[in-house]
Structures are given as C-alpha cells and as structure tokens.
Amino acid sequence: MKFVRIGLIALGVLIVCAGAVVGTLMLVRDDLSPFEGYILSTESEAGKAITVRYMGNTNLLISDGTTSLMTDGWFSRPSTSELLLGTIGPDMDAISAAMARGEVGTLAAVIPVHSHYDHAMDSPEVARRTGALLVGSESTANIGRGWGLPEEQIRVVGSEEPMRFGDFTVTLIKSQHFQFPDPDMAAAALEDPLITAPLIPPVSALDYKMGGAYSIHIAHPLGTMLLQGSAGYVTGALDEYRADIVMLGVGGVVAQTARYQQDYWEQIVRVLRPEKVFPVHWDSLTDPLSDKPVMPNLLWSRVLDFQAEAGVNYALNHAKQDGIDAALFPMWEEVVLFQE
C-alpha cells in the first residue's frame, strides 16, 4: 500500500513537472528584434503600382488599385490544445478584426496555397464577405461547399491553367507540400490528402487535409511574383517560369537535411531568378495576429521543429550569398512591390 502511495505521489510530481516544462515552452519565444531592420518600410507613392499587405503566415492582399487578390485569408488562430485535442472552425470575430485592419475590400479571388487549416479554413468566409471567387483544388472547393459558399463563387482549377483577374494572370503550379521529417506527423498531415465531401466545421484540424500544394505565380504588366507557401518543391516544375519577387515559405525548412534545404532554394528561388525574396510562413500559427509578426513559442519552434528564427535566417543568408535582396513584410501596412 505504501509503495502504491509513493508511486502515486511520484507520478503526480512527474505530471506537475511535465506540465511546468510544456507551460514554460509555450510562454517563451524567440526574439524578433534581430529581424526588425529587415522589415520593409511603408511609403506612399503616386502612380500605378502593385501593392501588398501582409497579414501573417501566407496571407497576402495583392492589388493594382483596380483588382485585388488575396492568398489564404486565414485569420483565425486556434490554440495548441484546440488543434491537438479539440475541434476548430473559422473565428468570425478574428476574421472581422483582421479584414478591417488590413482594409480588405472587394476581392476578385481568394486563393489558398493548399487546403490545410492554416491556409484554407477561413478562405470561404473571406470569399463570401468580399464577393471573391474561391480558387483551388477540389479539396479547397469542398471547404467552400461545407461553408455554404455558392457554387458560382467556387473555381476548381488545374495545374498550370492560367486565370485572368483584371490585369493579373494567376497560375497555380502543382508543387510538393513540406515533407515532415517526423513520420507520425507526415502520416497525419499528408497521407490520404483529399477532402472528398463538403467539410462542415467545427472539425478536427486534421480534417482540413492538404488537398494539393501549389506554387502561386502572379503575373502583371508591372511585375511578376511567386508565392511558395509550403516549403516543398518539385524538381523542374518552375523551370519555365520567372518571377521578380519570390515569397518563400520557410516554416520547418531547417529541420530538413542540408541537401533538401539546398534543393529547395535551387528549385524555387534560383530557377525563378528574382530580384527580391520575402520569407513568409514563419510566424506563430497559434497566437492572435498582432501589430508585428509574432514569433512561435518554443514548443512549436523547437520541439515541433517549426524553427522560425533559423528559417528566416536561412532565407536571408541564402539571398545574401546569391546577391538577391531580402526583406520581411510589415504587418497590415500597404507596401509597394512594383510601380510604373
């Protein structure tokens, strides 16, 4: 009996200690300050221009003043416990607040980079509020259908099938999702990747299956750009494309082998020959959007290997070696990418 009691006490102490460790990991995060000098300054310029407003992760509002497009439009931030143990769905208040702050008006299209929750979960609601077409794979379409978005506001598009929105030509190019080095995470997030029926939230985070990962190429008479949301690549897939600006997803990339890291840079950035690279998909997925990008806590960054700080440095250092400009987007502010 005594042993049982001692055993129970020891177990209790262990649980408290483990809780304290996880709690600490979730409270501490890396320091953003070394990167603040890289955050692009905002400037108001006259004349025709393409502007972007960055709103965390891979949310980009791209506009030429006449036509506006949004990638992802993901503003809800479910907590770690909701992600691991509960169910999730669009947070209508968070969507309202972010759309107001980012001055998201009428949109021609909302285009998630793939169908995981951290890209596509809110896309149908943003499309509903802005009159936009929801553009992507059949899985993305099923997220839209589950949300009740009318079929005429949904466009399933094939790889390398250009679409015209005003002066923008948008092409989704089939790519590869980030390959999770951990086999359990890889299986949970990437095996059986299709959403085959309308998805009605709240659902488990893993029900937002990947659906097909895309590089999004956006061409305009003023300049061309490519968004690589997830840090994966298909060798040769972008050989025929060029982009003046690359927005490069770096979440998790430094958890990969040196070879993978090199190939990722080679296959996305070097083949496109950009003048400028912006690292994206490095800020926290579990904290509300704030004035500045929020660094992930150490549970995500170190234990789950998201490696935000090292990921940003990966892009900055590779760009420097190749003589390419690199910068970070400020949150919410309109910055000029190209002008006449």
Query: ∠ CA 298-306-233 to the nearest 5 degrees?
Result: 175
DSSP of 262-283, one letter per residue? Answer: HHHIIIIIIHH--SEEEEES-S
Interaction between residue 281 and Zn ion (CB under 5 A): no
Query: By CB under 5 A, which span of 53-61, 110-118, 258-266, 297-305 interacts with Zn ion?
Result: 110-118
Cα gap 295→301, rounded to integer Å: 8
Cα gap 160→174, rounded to integer Å: 8
The neighbour count for residue 103, using CB atoms within 10 Å, is: 12
Query: By CB under 5 A, which span of 65-73, 87-95, 114-122, 193-201 interacts with Zn ion?
Result: 114-122
Least distance in Å: CB of 230 to Zn ion?
A: 5
Least distance in Å: CB of 233 to Zn ion?
A: 14
The neighbour count for residue 24, using CB atoms within 10 Å, is: 12
Residues in contact with 6: Cβ distance below 8 Å, sequence separation at least 6, in sequence order? none
Q: Which residues pair with 203 in a beta bridge?
A: 88
Least distance in Å: CB of 189 to Zn ion?
A: 7
Query: By CB under 5 A, which span of 109-117, 149-157, 276-284, 290-298 interacts with Zn ion?
Result: 109-117
Residue 207 or 334 having the CB closest to Zn ion: 207
Interaction between residue 116 and Zn ion (CB under 5 A): yes
- As a dihedral over the C-alpha atoms of residue 283, residue 107, residue 241, residue 279, rounded to 10 degrees, the angle is -10
C-alpha distances in angstroms, 249 versus 56, 130, 168?
12, 26, 22
- Which DSSP category does 240 fall into? T
# residues contacting Zn ion (CB under 5 A) = 1
Nearest to Zn ion by Cβ — which residue?
116
**Residue 11: which H helix or E strand, with range?**
helix 2-27
Q: What mask of x and - would describe binding to Zn ion in positions 157 to 196, judged by CB under 5 A? A: ----------------------------------------
Query: By CB under 5 A, which span of 111-119, 129-137, 252-260, 283-291 interacts with Zn ion?
Result: 111-119
Cα gap 223→38, rounded to integer Å: 22
Query: By CB under 5 A, which span of 14-22, 108-116, 165-173, 198-206 interacts with Zn ion?
Result: 108-116
Least distance in Å: CB of 120 to Zn ion?
A: 9
Interaction between residue 77 and Zn ion (CB under 5 A): no
Least distance in Å: CB of 190 to Zn ion?
A: 8
Which two tokens mark 158?
A: 């094939």
Least distance in Å: CB of 334 to Zn ion?
A: 27
Cα gap 206→195, rounded to integer Å: 11
Q: How many Å from the N-terminal Cα to the C-terminal Cα in the chain?
A: 82
Residue 144 or 330 having the CB closest to Zn ion: 144
Least distance in Å: CB of 163 to Zn ion?
A: 22
Which is it for strands 60-63 and 68-71: parallel, antiparallel or unpaired?
Answer: antiparallel
Residue 77 or 116 having the CB closest to Zn ion: 116
Least distance in Å: CB of 210 to Zn ion?
A: 6
Query: By CB under 5 A, which span of 112-120, 128-136, 268-276, 320-328 interacts with Zn ion?
Result: 112-120
Residue 153 or 159 having the CB closest to Zn ion: 159
Residue 35 or 180 having the CB closest to Zn ion: 180
Burial class (CB in 10 A: 0-12, 13-18, 19+), 17: exposed
Least distance in Å: CB of 340 to Zn ion?
A: 36
Judged by the rule CB under 5 A, the positions of this chain that interact with Zn ion are 116
